[in-house]
Structure 1
Amino acid sequence: MAGIWRFLGAVVVSLALVGGGSVAAFAQEREQILVFAASSLKDVLEDAGAVFDQTHNTDTEFSFGGTQTITRHVVAGAPADLLVTADDAWMEYAVRNGVLVDDSVVELASNGLVLVGSQELDAMPVELEPEALQAALANGRLAMGEPETVPAGRYGKDALINLGLWESVAQRVAPVENVRIALAAAARGEVPLALVYASDAQVEQGVRVLAKIPQDSHDPIVIPGALTSVHSKSGVEFLEFLKSAEGQEIFRVHGFKVSGD
């Protein structure tokens, strides 16, 4: 029996030596970070979280949804460390409701809009003219975020109005809860056209870009992030990481524009 205890003691000492510190430090639990974020940011934030966790004692988790939905959840008291939205209007709503740390709101990146169609169905490029758009739709519909509540839908409607295209498609719009639903519908060929973020088109191999929406046809599409009033210390560090050169490069790789582009 004494031999077993000596063996176990040796294992403990070995673990302490390998870890370069105490057994308590070796066994320290990883701190959880919870980020509420817009669906359009799923790929970039999951990649950023994985990179961050490699060099920190953290497990970064995400709750994705429509910007309007996740913001309302945070306002209602959801225990998130960070809020990252697809536009600044909903971030301002959270600010007005007093659930964010004062002066913590920061612009992380920006985005653009594109029209996409199914890669499998060999969708062809579309000119941004009423007749061409109607011809491309044929008997189908244009999937896009709900214009009254979803940021991508609001930006999209403004762009179509300013380009003189809204009246030609208004009755053919299929409004959806978030832009990723519109993207998936186009990829599956359920709709001939979808209006989505440029970054979405880059990550979905099932679609091809049929037209780029001019940047000056809508307000700038800003991606803001902020700390909530119940944030952890690691939440502060993750927001700083997203603002760093390494974090910004991850946004750039995923098709977003960052400061300096």
Structure 2
Amino acid sequence: MAGPALLLIALLLATLGQAPTARAEPNVHIYAAASLGDALDAAIARYEASHAVNIVPVYAASSTAARQIANGAPAELYFSANERWMTWLGEQGITLSERSDLLHNQLVLIAPRKDDASSVALDKPGELVARLGAGRRLAVGDPAHVPAGIYARQALQSLDEWQTLETRLARADNVRAALALVERGEAPLGIVYKTDARASNRVSELATFPAASHDPINYPLALVGTSPSDAASAFREWLAGEQALAIFQDFGFAAATSDAH
């Protein structure tokens, strides 16, 4: 009886050895502007629900994310809130492919939410300074490198308010940090993207800066590296599609004219 039993065991072991093993889902790291956080998280959740992949987002100011990638961060995708920083990253010798502008945003003035919050006439000289109040600061992303701050500086220069307000800025590391300063009442006014104001129930939107007062706020996306993985390429293609755009539009973004580089 020992012979048949041993044969059966051998057959079972052989069958188990031939059974397919579960393959680990690939990870795809995407470094993205802080202002994309809520919308991109929603897009990732939708994508992962129907694809065997783990999308790992890393959010920061576009400038910070670009520098991290240039210093060797394991990004396969870079989603910037500023074309300048995408271009800068390429100038550092980082290979970028499938680059295109996907989204568009607007710049707005916000204040802590109040039932009696009234709009601000940005074209009225001195109105913005008057609403800021004596000794108070205006929350912005740092204009030295944060895209939202760069756009804010351009807008204030266009309105002839920059010289007055430059020394009265509360400079934040990214646009979401500037939003938080206003949410907490630490700054009476702030300049953020329209999508940031829409994402918060703790601020009121007082005015939209004219589009002509600053450079277009476009969000370029690109694959990073000389050999992008199939998983990264597939996710990049999906982000450029209609299903992803509908999600971003739900969060207040608009589609940008996509010009490949």
State the TM-score, normalized to the length of structure 2. 0.86
The SS at the match of 2:20 is: helix
Give the equivalent residue in structure 2 for 1:125.
119
The one of 223, 233, 238 aligned to 1:236? 233
Aligned match of 1:19: none
Indicate whether 1:67 and 2:62 are aligned: yes
Contact 2:218/2:256 (CA < 8 Å) preserved in 1? Answer: no
Whole-angstrom CA distance in 2 between matches of 1:117 and 1:68: 26
Structure 1 partner of 2:81: 86
Task: Map Cα deviations across residues 21-63 of structure 1 (whole Å, 9 max, x no partner).
Answer: x9636x3221111111111111111111111111110111111
User: Which residue in 2 is equivalent to 1:167?
Assistant: 163
Of 109, 130, 137, the residue aligned with 2:103 is: 109
Counterpart position of 2:90: 95
**Local SS of the residue matching 1:105:** strand
Deviation, 1:100, is 2.6
1:130/1:168 contact within 8 Å kept: no
What residue ranges of structure 2 are gaps of 5+ in the alignment? Answer: none
Instruction: Report the alpha carbon displacement of residue 171 of structure 1 after superposing the two structures with TM.
Output: 2.3
Q: Is the 8 A contact 1:100 1:226 kept in 2?
A: no
Q: In 2, distance between residues paired with 1:135 and 1:125?
A: 13
Secondary structure at the counterpart of residue 248 of structure 1: helix
Equivalent of 1:52 in 39, 42, 47: 47
Q: Which runs of 5+ in 1 are unaligned?
A: 14-21
CA spacing shift, 1:202–1:24, aligned 2, 3 Å: farther
- Using the TM superposition, give the Cα deviation of residue 107 of structure 1 relative to its aligned residue in structure 2, in angstroms: 0.8
Which residue of structure 1 aligns with residue 26 of structure 2?
31
Q: Distance in 1 between matches of 2:146 and 2:214?
A: 15
Secondary structure of 2:66 counterpart? helix
Which segment is superposed worse, 157-166 or 194-203? 157-166
Query: Rg larger in 1 or in 2?
Result: 2
CA contact (8 A) 1:109 1:224 kept: yes
1:135 Cα deviation (Å)?
A: 1.9
Q: Does 1:142 align with 2:146?
A: no
Q: Deviations over 1:103-157 (max 9, x none)?
A: x211110111000011158543222134221221113110101112111111111
For residues 119 and 165 of structure 1, the distance between their equivalents in structure 2, rounded to whole angstroms, comes to 24
Q: What's the C-alpha RMSD, in Å, of the aligned pairs?
A: 2.3
Distance 1:121 1:171, change over 3 A: farther
What stretches of structure 1 move > 2 A for 4+ residues in a row?
A: 22-25, 120-124
Q: Secondary structure at the match of 2:254?
A: coil
Given candidates 184, 194, 206, the residue that maps to 2:180 is: 184
CA-to-partner distance for each residue in 1:58-114, whole Å, 9 max, x for gaps?
111111111111101111111111011110000001111222334x21111011100
Secondary structure of the equivalent of 2:56? Answer: strand
Aligned residues: percent identity?
35
1:247 to 238, 244, 256: 244
